[in-house]
A and B are shown apart, each in its own frame.
Chain A
């Protein structure tokens, strides 16, 4: 069965410092991996995805993620955190069953960036 784990419920970072939000996955075959962000009372906003190719993926708002096949990880990173980055972050894997659209999400990690 395909699954996603986000081992940290919350990550605390000082503004200006680099941030990392961790994600590991378990899939059969090649994974399609996604990061979304959710602000209070809002839907999910797409940040970036890995389908194939370069292991370092760049996305919106200065975020990037590194795909590591041997460690089955897809950690989200940003070189310099902003207070406005404080939100709930979700890692997801696309369930490749007949090519249908079905995202399996991790539990989410709350990022708190302190001034």
Chain B
């Protein structure tokens, strides 16, 4: 079974631009979560989607948004990019939205904001 895939793997943007990242979960998984990883802040939860509904959201500004489609694929969008948004963005999928369920991570999208 194919793992979680994320596209693109690398992105370079300039301040003020917007960006859309894509995540395809493991087949059958209905929950998709997004995390930001930076050297300074570590791994931080962005949001979780289950059955096209945002179930939970972390402490990030409204510039960070996401959505989930009926096939469980998910996208996250960052508008008005800032230098501090440079990070590795990780997507994870699981069967359910139960906290005991294992989340499986994709390889990430490395975003560089210049």
Proximity string of chain A (26-57) to chain B, C-beta cutoff 8 Å, 1 when within and 0 when not? 00000010101000011111100101000000
Q: Which residue from A42, A46, A98, A104 sits with its C-beta under 8 Å from B102? A: A46
* Other-chain residue from B45, B102, B106 in contact with A102 (beta carbon distance below 8 A): B45
Q: Which residues of A contact B90 (CB under 8 A)?
A: 43-44
A43 with B43: in contact, given A100-B97, A101-B56 (CB under 8 Å)? no
A101 is contacted by which of B43, B44, B103, B106 (Cβ under 8 Å)?
B103
* A95 proximal to B (CB < 8 A): yes
B66: interface (CB < 8 Å): no
CB distance from A77 to the nearest CB of B (A): 20
The count of residues in chain A whose C-beta lies closer than 8 Å to any C-beta of chain B is 28
CA distance A111 to B31 in the complex (A): 31
Chain B: interface size category: 20 to 34
CB–CB A44/B105 < 8 A = yes
Q: Mark B79-114, 1 if CB is under 8 A from A, else 0.
A: 000000000001010101111111111111000000
Indicate whether B61 reaches chain A with its CB closer than 8 angstroms. no
The answer to whether the Cβ of A82 comes within 8 Å of any Cβ in the partner chain is no
Q: Given contacts A99-B99, A101-B48, A102-B48, is CB(A108)–CB(B42) below 8 Å?
A: yes
A84–B109 alpha-carbon span in the complex (Å): 24
Q: For window 23-44 of chain B, which residues contact chain A by CB distance below 8 Å?
A: 31, 33, 35, 42-44
B42 touches A104 (CB 8 A): no
In the complex, A96 has a CB within 8 A of chain B = yes
Contact A100 B55 (CB under 8 A): yes
Instruction: Determine whether the beta carbon of B106 is less than 8 Å from that of A43.
Output: yes
User: Complex: how many Å from CA A4 to CA B58?
Assistant: 16
Answer yes or no: A90 CB below 8 A from chain B CBs.
Answer: yes
A-B contact pairs, 8 of them (CB 8 A): A42-B108, A44-B90, A46-B102, A49-B102, A101-B48, A101-B56, A102-B99, A103-B35
| Residues of B that sit less than 8 Å from A by CB | 4, 6, 31, 33, 35, 42-45, 48, 50, 55-56, 58, 90, 92, 94, 96-108
4 A-B pairs besides A36-B105, A90-B43 with CB distance below 8 A are A45-B105, A92-B43, A100-B48, A101-B97
